[in-house]
Amino acid sequence: DTEVTQTPKHLVMGMTNKKSLKCEQHMGHRAMYWYKQKAKKPPELMFVYSYEKLSINESVPSRFSPECPNSSLLNLHLHALQPEDSALYLCASSQEGTGGGYEQYFGPGTRLTVT
Amino acid sequence: DQQVKQNSPSLSVQEGRISILNCDYTNSMFDYFLWYKKYPAEGPTFLISISSIKDKNEDGRFTVFLNKSAKHLSLHIVPSQPGDSAVYFCAAPHNQGGKLIFGQGTELSVKP
């Protein structure tokens, strides 16, 4: 089973709203990732959690706040977003963040629209 | 600096023929490469990978070839099917903790 699940599938939010994206995997993977993807572009890495600790933050604005409650769950808290933050937000997981197990398995994504 | 490059933004192939998608890289430290397939409004799906100790890896209709001296890899799909129509990304792990460096993608269209 290589399934990563994400909720919600679609989200529309105003610039003053607070919302959260959720991601779950049950493959025993110890690394989890948040990506942002705009149309016709490759995924753009935002955050990496390795063994439930934040290991990479790609200089993401503080209006995006990641959280890893346990090894299976990953959240992305959103606050005061801008219209240009509208994109497909992808969660991924891999066996381990360093060394072997490079294959990252992606969820279906959350299509976010900021109005 | 774009370390992984896919110079063809699109490719059109007839059903049943071979599709060849190309990828070049500049960082000689890369030792593993992956191909992902992406349908619109879905997450990328892992297709196939190759380690730098090999020059070929095959999985069903998909074969990836690696030419280290040319810093070039290619994905062959044969025979191509209409369901293969998607955007294909090649990627390489950066030495920094699991970060994948993606190419810009090639949109494959397989016509019946």
Per-residue DSSP letter, A100: S
Please indicate if any CB of chain B lies within 8 Å of the CB of A104. yes
Please indicate if any CB of chain A lies within 8 Å of the CB of B112. no
Q: How many CB atoms lie within 10 A of CB B109?
A: 14
Between A69 and A101, the more confident residue is A69
**pLDDT value for B44:** 94
Give per-residue pLDDT as tens, A53-65.
Answer: 999 999 999 999 9
Between A2 and B75, the more confident residue is B75
Give per-residue pLDDT as tens, B29-64.
Answer: 898 999 999 998 889 999 999 999 999 999 999 999
Return d(Cα A48, Cα A57) in angstroms, integer.
7
pLDDT at A2 over 80: no
Residue of A nearest to B107 (CA): A40
Burial B78-102 (b: 16+ CB within 10 A, else e): eebeeebbbbbbbbbbbeeebbbbb
Give per-residue pLDDT as tens, A22-33.
Answer: 999 989 999 999
SS in 3 state form for B47-105? EEEEECCCCEEEECCEEEEEECCCCEEEEEECCCCHHHCEEEEEEEECCCCCCEEECCC
Please indicate if any CB of chain B lies within 8 Å of the CB of A60. no
Query: Residue A40: which pLDDT band, with cuts at 50, 70 and 90?
Result: confident
**pLDDT value for A1:** 60
Return d(Cα A97, Cα B3) in angstroms, integer.
20
Give the closest of A40, A43, A50 to B97, CB-based: A50
How far, in whole angstroms, is CA A49 from its chain's centroid? 10
pLDDT at A98 over 90: no
Q: Which residues pair with B49 in a beta bridge?
A: B34
